[in-house]
Amino acid sequence: MDRDSVERPVALPPEIDAVRAVLRELDAPWAVAGGWAIDLALGRVTRAHGDVDVAVFREDQQALRAALPGWDFAAVVGGRMTPWERGARLEPPVHEVHARSPTGAPPFGLELLLNERDGADWVYRRDPAVRLPLARAIRPGPGGVRVLAPEVVLLYKSKVPRPADEADFLTALPLLDREARTWLRAALLRARPDHPWAAALAPRA
Reply yes or no on whether the pLDDT at 50 is more than 90.
Answer: no
The residue type found at 201 is L
161's CB contacts (< 8 A; 6+ apart) are: 169, 197
- From the list 186, 179, 178, 136, the residue with the least C-alpha distance to 158 is 186
Higher pLDDT, 4 or 196: 196
3-class DSSP assignment, residue 60:
helix
pLDDT attached to residue 11: 73
Which stretches within the chain are classed as H helix? 14-22, 34-42, 61-67, 134-137, 150-157, 163-172, 178-191, 196-201
pTM value is: 0.90
pLDDT tier for residue 30 given thresholds of 50, 70 and 90: very high
pLDDT attached to residue 205: 54
What is the rounded distance in angstroms from the CA atom of residue 51 to the CA atom of residue 55?
13
Pairing of strands 96-100, 30-33: unpaired
Reply yes or no on whether the pLDDT at 10 is more than 60.
Answer: no
- Is 3.30.460.40 the CATH number for 3-149? yes
The residues spanned by each domain of the chain are 3-149
Reply yes or no on whether the pLDDT at 89 is more than 80.
Answer: yes
Average pLDDT of the chain, as a whole number: 91
pLDDT attached to residue 9: 43
Specify whether the CB–CB gap between 115 and 59 falls below 8 A: no
How deeply is 160 buried, as exposed, middle or buried, from its count of CB atoms within 10 A (0-12, 13-18, 19+)?
exposed
Length of the chain: 205
pLDDT digits (tens, 9 = 90+) for 96-110: 999 999 887 777 789
pLDDT digits (tens, 9 = 90+) for 100-153: 998 877 777 899 999 999 999 999 999 999 999 999 999 999 989 999 999 999
Over pLDDT 90: what percentage of the chain? 83
